[in-house]
């Protein structure tokens, strides 16, 4: 049975049967943590049966607001009313506990690692006093919706990130709450699992009457919400629908191709502060300008070697970044943008494009018992190059990094890092590389400066060298003004810069970064990548990075996409997009009232690689008009409404999703044709 049909079986909440009303009302709420203001005069209404999004940068107050609404955190002033009950004490929060579900921030943070999927669900059902006969039916429905049924006996600590979050959602919904509160549930989750998570959630909300408040660090996820609020510095600066954000920062995005886009950004920043380079594409946000005027403004200062200038509206990420840039300009808390010496052409990208290979992997294999986590992986990263390793949660990316850094011996295969052979010279490798792991590696009770000095000591730097190196590093990674603050008090984006500084303190020739920007806000991510580009282009550092932000993949010189331990696609971002366009066409997107049901219909009728995209469906088409007519007739027969047809350019998100979906379908067909084959392991790498 498909997910849409399963959602239909879930009983409708009593709240959804009457007239529309507010499920949550927040009036003048303030919250302080000693001298830090977390929430300032918050005014908020959330209607029944809607998905309400909370977006904003690190430390903007999203988590504080969700915890206050859930009744697990006290607030200093104001009034919060939930489901008609004023929440102003532990006793009042206790009265509505059975009607509210809370999923806290972090992969699996509300779950028990040693318990299986089944056992976790049963435990939470027991806490909520769900009757056993009701539990049995409800659990089967939710497991089927989230496609976790076949893994129900697997311990939580052996699940991929996406599977953990889907299990967390099941445990949150098991007592059938009327209000669901989800705090950044998709942070650290791959794009395919994120889309899957949102598809399940939005269909469940809209068909069963549940109301959801969800915070997110991914601006593209605003497309899944009915309405949203943008928080900054504890204040709500915008409330409304996702498509009304343009009023916040009117202007135009001007884009063009150029060979050395990162060098070009310095020319543009003389006039326009919000500019970024994505591969060979330059994007400039021209505030308060119509398209023609914006193009003319950029043309005045752009390089003569540029490509054609095109104009488009800013997206939500551009709007948020614009507000953050304005805020940082007022507080001087942002690092200096990447500076390039225009007078010396040898400092450009060309210097290191063909440098020596500093990272090499040759047929690397890693087995954990009978499970093969990495399957004959080959890759090479030259000096001055940024190599992106992409893949779903559990695809084997972290295991590859652990083998290359000497933390894990390979089962077979060979490799060299910074001139040392992996498996035989682990200590030599560790002395020559910088490494930022997924798990946070800083000491929270030390200041930023104390962390830098500690790591300098670990790497054996003499005091005289430290006195020169550390101040230089503080400026390079944008820590000026934060040196003497406790690490625990730093925003996530600043912590990640500090972690990078600690990894660079001994001037390594090679850096490994495992999802370094997970949970970091949009401006923090852009600034972090400015630093990485400077390290590669001007210091000749070889960088291998994993990321779930597909926009960041555009910064990489080379990419490899992993699935089930194998590399299934490789090349430059432009090459991968070109191959997808040649083989499958360009994106065709359309809106529908039930994305999950529509997805089932289109896949059953030949569009096997269709995927949800916000509230819309997205297919790849080699003939737009033909497929549009075919789909229109198909949905007419199914009595389904579709609208808002749009054709867009391919993105790395399209490349990732299409590649993973095609691999999953190929794997499913193989298993179906060989029924006697033992059940394969889930995508999990310890």
Q: Structure tokens of 393? A: 């949660």
pTM, whole model, 2 decimals? 0.82
Annotate 493-508 with b (16+ C-beta within 10 A) or e (fewer): bbbbbbbbbbbbbbeb
Long-range contacts of range 575-583, CB-CB < 8 Å, 24 or more positions apart? 576/652, 576/655, 577/650, 577/651, 577/652, 577/654, 577/655, 580/620, 580/650, 580/654, 580/655, 580/658, 581/650
| Residues pairing with 458 in the sheet | none
> Which sign does the torsion angle of CA 541, 545, 550, 552 carry?
negative
Give the residue carrying structure tokens 């912590």. Answer: 495
pLDDT number for residue 12: 40
What does the H/E/C string look like for 191-250?
HHHHHHHHHHHHHHHHHHCCEEEEEECCHHHHHHCCEEEEEECCEEEEEECHHHHHHCCC
> Which sign does the torsion angle of CA 7, 10, 11, 15 carry?
negative
**3-state SS class at 159:** coil
Average pLDDT for consecutive 10-residue bins of the chain (686 residues)? Answer: 43 44 94 88 93 86 93 92 91 90 82 93 92 90 83 88 85 91 86 82 79 88 87 88 74 92 88 89 93 94 93 88 72 46 40 71 94 94 95 88 92 93 82 81 90 89 86 87 88 84 91 86 84 89 92 92 94 93 92 80 86 82 92 89 88 90 80 56 40
User: Distance between CA atoms of 574 and 341, rounded to whole angstroms?
Assistant: 27
Closest by Cα among 168, 197, 235, 201 to 31? 235
Contact call for residues 28 and 43 (beta carbons, < 8 A): yes
Contact call for residues 550 and 527 (beta carbons, < 8 A): no
Neighbour order of strands in the sheet with 566-571: 433-436, 510-514, 542-546, 386-391, 558-563, 566-571
Provide the pairing of β-strand 542-546 with 510-514: parallel
Helices (runs of H) and strands (runs of E) counted in the chain? 21, 28
Please report the DSSP string for 639-679 in residue order.
Answer: T--EEEEEE----HHHHHHHHHHHHHHHHHHHHHH-TTSPP
In order of their start, the domains of the chain are: 3-243 (3.40.50.300), 246-341 (3.30.70), 350-571 (3.40.50.300), 581-671 (no CATH)
Question: Angle formed by the axes of helices 191-208 and 161-173, to 10°?
Answer: 10
């Amino acid at each position: 049975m498909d997910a849409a049909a399963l959602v239909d079986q879930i009983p409708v909440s009593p709240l959804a049967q009457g007239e529309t009303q507010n499920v949550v009302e927040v009036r003048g709420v303030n919250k302080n943590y000693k001298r830090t203001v977390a929430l300032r005069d918050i005014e908020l209404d959330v209607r029944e049966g809607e998905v309400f999004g909370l977006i904003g940068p690190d430390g903007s107050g999203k988590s504080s607001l969700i915890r206050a609404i859930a009744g697990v955190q006290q607030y200093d002033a104001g009034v919060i009313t939930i489901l008609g009950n004023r929440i102003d004490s532990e006793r009042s929060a206790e009265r509505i506990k059975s009607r509210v579900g809370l999923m806290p921030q972090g992969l699996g943070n509300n779950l028990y690692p040693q318990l299986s999927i089944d056992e976790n669900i049963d435990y939470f059902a027991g806490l909520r006093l769900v009757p056993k006969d009701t539990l049995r039916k409800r659990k089967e429905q939710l497991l089927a919706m989230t496609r976790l049924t076949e893994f129900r006996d697997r311990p939580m600590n052996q699940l991929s990130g996406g599977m953990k979050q889907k299990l967390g959602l099941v445990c949150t919904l098991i007592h059938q709450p009327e209000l669901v509160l989800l705090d950044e549930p998709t942070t650290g989750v791959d794009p395919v699992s994120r889309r899957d998570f949102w598809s399940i959630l939005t269909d469940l909300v809209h068909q069963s009457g549940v109301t959801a408040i969800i915070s997110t660090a991914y601006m593209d996820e605003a497309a899944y919400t009915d309405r949203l609020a943008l928080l900054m510095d504890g204040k709500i600066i915008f409330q409304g629908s996702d498509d009304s954000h343009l009023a916040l920062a009117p202007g135009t995005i001007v884009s063009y191709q150029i060979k050395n886009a990162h060098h070009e950004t310095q020319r543009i920043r003389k006039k326009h502060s919000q500019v970024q380079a994505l591969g060979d594409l330059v994007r400039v946000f021209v505030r308060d300008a119509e398209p023609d005027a914006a193009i003319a403004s950029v043309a005045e200062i752009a390089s003569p070697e540029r490509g054609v200038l095109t104009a488009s509206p800013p997206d939500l990420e551009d709007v948020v970044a614009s507000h953050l840039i304005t805020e940082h300009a007022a507080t001087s808390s942002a690092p200096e943008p990447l500076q390039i010496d225009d007078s010396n052409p040898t400092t450009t990208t060309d210097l290191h494009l063909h440098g020596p290979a500093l990272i090499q992997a040759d047929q690397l294999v890693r087995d954990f018992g009978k499970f093969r986590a990495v399957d004959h992986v080959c890759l090479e990263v030259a000096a001055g190059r940024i190599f992106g390793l992409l893949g779903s949660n559990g695809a084997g990316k972290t295991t590859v990094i652990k083998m290359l850094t000497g933390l894990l011996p390979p089962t077979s295969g060979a490799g060299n890092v910074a001139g040392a052979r992996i498996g035989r010279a682990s200590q030599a490798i560790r002395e020559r590389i910088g490494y930022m792991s997924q798990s946070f590696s800083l000491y929270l009770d030390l200041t930023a400066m104390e962390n830098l000095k500690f790591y300098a000591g670990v790497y054996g730097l003499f005091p005289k060298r430290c006195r020169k190196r550390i101040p230089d590093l503080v400026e390079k990674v944008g820590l000026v003004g934060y040196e003497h603050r406790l690490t625990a008090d730093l925003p996530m984006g600043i912590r990640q810069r500090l972690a990078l500084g600690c990894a660079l303190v001994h001037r390594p020739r090679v850096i490994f970064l495992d999802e370094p920007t997970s949970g970091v806000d949009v401006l923090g991510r852009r600034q972090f990548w400015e630093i990485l580009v400077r390290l590669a282009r001007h210091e000749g550092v070889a960088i291998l990075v994993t990321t779930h932000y597909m926009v960041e993949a555009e910064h990489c010189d080379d990419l490899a996409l992993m699935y089930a331990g194998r590399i299934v696609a490789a090349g430059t971002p432009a090459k991968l997009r070109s191959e997808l366009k040649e083989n499958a066409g360009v994106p065709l997107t359309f809106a529908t009232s039930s994305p999950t049901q529509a997805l089932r219909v289109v896949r059953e009728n030949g569009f096997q690689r269709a995927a949800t995209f916000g509230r819309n469906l997205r297919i790849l088409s080699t003939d737009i008009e033909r497929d549009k007519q075919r789909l229109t007739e198909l949905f007419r027969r199914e009595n389904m409404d579709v609208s808002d047809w749009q054709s867009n350019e391919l993105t790395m998100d399209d490349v990732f999703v299409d590649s993973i979906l095609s691999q999953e379908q190929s794997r499913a067909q193989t298993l179906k044709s060989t029924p006697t084959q033992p059940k394969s392991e889930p995508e999990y790498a310890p």
